[in-house]
C-alpha cells in the first residue's frame, strides 16, 4: 500500500502471504526492560504486543541474531534513553510517580525499535543457545508435563507391572 502511494486510511487489502511466514519477533508494549521473544507461529498478537516481521526469506538465524541484539543490555540502555519512563505507580490523584528506578515502566513502540542501530556480527550462537535452553525449560513446566502424561497415560505401564 505504501509503494502504491496510499494513505493508511485508504488501505483496503490484506496480503495473506505476509502472514504465512511463521517466525515473528514480538515484545510487550509496556515493560520495565527489553523482553523480545521469537514466536514460531500459531498465535495472533494485538496492539499491546507489537511484532517485528523480517522478510519471508529470512532464516531462523537471522531472527535469533536480531533477537540477541534486542535483548542485550546495550539495547536495554539505548531503549531507556529514547523512551521516557511511565513511572512505577500512580498517586491518589492519578499522577505517575516513581518509587524505585528498577520499577519504572516504559512504553516501547515499533517506531523507536526500528531506529535501533543494528551491529554486525550479531550474537547468533549465544541467542541460539538461550533459545534452546528456554525451550528445554518450557518442556519441564507443569503444563507440558501434564500434556505429555495425558496424551499417552498408560504407555509402558503394563511393561513395568510385568
> In the chain, where are the structural domains located?
15-123
**124 pLDDT exceeds 70?**
yes
Q: How far apart are CA 130 and CA 139, in angstroms?
A: 14
- CA angle in degrees (0–180, nearest 5) for 105-108-114: 155
Provide the pLDDT confidence category of residue 162 given band limits of 50, 70 and 90. Answer: very low
**97 pLDDT exceeds 70?**
no
* pLDDT in the model for residue 73: 92
Please state which of the ranges 69-83, 91-105, 110-124 shows the lowest mean pLDDT.
91-105
* pLDDT in the model for residue 16: 61
Range ranked top by mean pLDDT from 33-42, 109-118, 126-135 = 126-135
Residues in the chain: 162
User: What is the reported pTM?
Assistant: 0.69
- % of residues, the chain, pLDDT over 70: 73
DSSP H helices, the chain, are 60-70, 73-82, 110-114, 124-138, 142-151, 157-161
Provide the pLDDT confidence category of residue 56 given band limits of 50, 70 and 90. Answer: confident
- CA angle in degrees (0–180, nearest 5) for 51-108-21: 5
Amino acid at each position: 500500500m505504501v509503494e502504491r502511494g496510499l494513505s493508511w486510511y485508504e488501505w483496503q487489502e490484506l496480503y495473506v502471504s505476509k502472514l504465512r511466514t511463521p517466525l515473528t519477533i514480538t515484545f510487550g508494549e509496556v515493560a520495565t526492560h527489553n523482553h523480545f521473544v521469537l514466536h514460531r507461529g500459531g498465535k495472533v498478537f494485538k496492539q499491546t504486543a507489537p511484532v517485528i516481521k523480517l522478510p519471508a526469506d529470512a532464516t531462523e538465524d537471522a531472527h535469533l541474531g536480531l533477537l540477541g541484539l534486542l535483548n542485550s543490555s546495550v539495547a536495554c540502555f539505548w531503549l531507556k534513553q529514547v523512551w521516557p519512563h511511565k513511572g512505577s505507580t500512580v498517586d491518589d490523584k492519578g499522577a505517575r510517580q516513581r518509587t524505585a528506578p528498577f520499577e519504572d515502566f516504559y512504553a516501547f513502540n515499533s517506531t523507536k525499535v526500528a531506529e535501533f542501530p543494528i551491529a554486525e556480527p550479531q550474537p547468533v550462537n549465544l541467542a541460539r543457545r538461550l533459545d534452546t535452553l528456554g525451550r528445554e525449560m518450557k518442556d519441564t513446566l507443569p503444563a507440558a508435563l501434564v500434556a505429555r502424561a495425558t496424551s499417552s497415560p498408560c504407555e509402558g505401564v503394563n511393561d513395568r507391572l510385568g
